[in-house]
């Protein structure tokens, strides 16, 4: 059912949050710290048994220089020839990891170099992962990661994960320079659904080299509204936390302002494709519109009136492919 704002109000809605004054400095310092660790990207062929797609096991330094795993999938040389490929860096939804090497073949099959980042500390909910969240974070938390270190922006989980996402883009672009993969560094897009969509928007906001964005039903947007209009998880983890840590609400809400993509996207300029399900109780429609309406670059929005968090499903994927083909021209 429809439970959020009516359509005319959604179209104009820009959110209920505001950026802290030191947002740019916070992220500049965070990324400068991460870049103190050399961007040494390990690329190892993986014996997948596939004939039309090559798979590589990738490791790159993320937040704190900690090793982050990823899969790199390429069209087989017999298919792609010798030219450079446009790249897509994909981020995964909440609870998932990079999965099996033989999953997620869509983008390589369509002619893209496809880097799928593992998600630190997740990967046991619906898709497997193996990258630990090694960085310490003090204080109590509700199971999941939404409240891990949430009492301080410096220790909050998403400071580490968003940094990983930016470093994944940098790692992908570096593959051309190293000769490790035939990636065109000028044609690297970011994409994801739900948490992955939120990470794509954050990476595009913090990494101006991103050439295009696909953010399907993006999560991590307009926290204050999400916490009060939906009872669904993962946002509910924060509600559960505050129901016990009753005096921490102001502190928690201040932390979240640094990671709210509705605050970050005014810095993003790459062409972007969004999607929203108007019956979605996981990422409320108004929170998606907050990100969309604040996004600074050229943008398109696919609206699915009768869908929940799955939004357009395969139709979103098909639209995303057409969108990136339009941005990048001939793939190979």
144 to each of 66, 94, 141, 256, 326, how far by Cα in Å? Answer: 20, 9, 8, 16, 38
127 counts as catalytic: no
Tell me the average pLDDT across 47-59: 96
- Under 8 Å between Cβ of 141 and 152: no
Tens-place pLDDT, residues 277-290: 999 999 999 999 99
DSSP 305: T
pLDDT in tens, 169-178: 999 999 987 7
Catalytic residue from among 127, 174, 194, 302: 194
Q: Mind listing the domains of the chain with CATH numbers? A: 7-327 (3.40.50.1820)
**Active-site residue identified among 16, 37, 109, 309:** 309
Element (H or E) spanning 109, and its range? helix 106-109
Does position 331 have pLDDT exceeding 70, yes or no?
no
Q: How far is CA 30 from the centre of its chain?
A: 17
Model confidence pLDDT, tens digit, residues 104-123: 999 999 999 999 999 999 99
**How much is the mean pLDDT over the chain?**
95
Backbone φ, ψ for residue 33 (5° rounding)? -65, -45
Is residue 50 scored above 80 in pLDDT?
Answer: yes
Residue 139 confidence (pLDDT) above 80: no
Tell me the torsion sign for CA atoms 81, 82, 87, 93.
positive
> What percentage of the chain has pLDDT greater than the value 70?
98
Q: pLDDT tens digit string along 149-162?
A: 999 999 999 999 99
Active site residue 194: yes
Exactly one of 164, 222, 280, 316 is catalytic; which is it?
A: 280
- Catalytic annotation present for 280: yes
């Amino acid at each position: 059912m429809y439970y959020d704002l009516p359509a005319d109000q959604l179209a104009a809605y820009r959110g209920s949050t505001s950026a802290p004054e030191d947002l740019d400095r916070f992220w500049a310092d965070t990324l400068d710290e991460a870049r103190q660790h050399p961007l040494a990207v390990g690329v190892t062929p993986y014996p997948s048994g596939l004939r039309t797609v090559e798979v590589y096991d990738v490791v790159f330094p993320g937040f704190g220089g900690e090793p982050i795993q990823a899969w790199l999938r390429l069209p087989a040389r017999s298919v792609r020839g010798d030219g450079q490929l446009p790249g897509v860096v994909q981020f995964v939804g909440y609870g998932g990891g990079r999965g099996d090497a033989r999953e997620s073949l869509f983008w390589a099959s369509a002619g893209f170099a496809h880097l799928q980042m593992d998600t630190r500390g997740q990967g046991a909910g619906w898709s497997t992962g193996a990258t630990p969240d090694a960085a310490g974070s003090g204080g109590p938390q509700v199971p999941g990661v939404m409240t891990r270190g949430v009492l301080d922006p410096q220790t909050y989980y998403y400071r580490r994960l968003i940094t990983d996402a930016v470093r994944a883009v940098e790692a992908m672009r570096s593959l051309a320079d190293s000769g490790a993969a035939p990636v065109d560094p000028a044609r690297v897009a970011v994409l994801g659904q739900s948490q992955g969509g939120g990470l794509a928007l954050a990476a595009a906001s913090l990494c101006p080299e991103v050439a295009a964005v696909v953010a399907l039903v993006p999560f991590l947007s307009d926290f204050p509204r999400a916490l009060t209009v939906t009872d669904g998880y993962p946002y509910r983890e924060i509600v559960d936390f505050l129901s016990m840590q009753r005096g921490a609400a102001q502190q928690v809400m201040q932390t979240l302002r640094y990671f709210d993509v509705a605050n970050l996207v005014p810095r993003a300029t790459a062409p972007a494709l969004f999607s929203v399900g108007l019956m979605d109780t996981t990422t409320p429609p108004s929170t998606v519109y907050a990100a969309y309406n604040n996004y600074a670059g050229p943008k398109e929005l696919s609206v699915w009136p009768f869908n929940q968090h799955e939004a357009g499903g395969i139709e979103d994927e098909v639209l995303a492919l057409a969108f990136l083909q339009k941005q990048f021209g001939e793939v190979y």
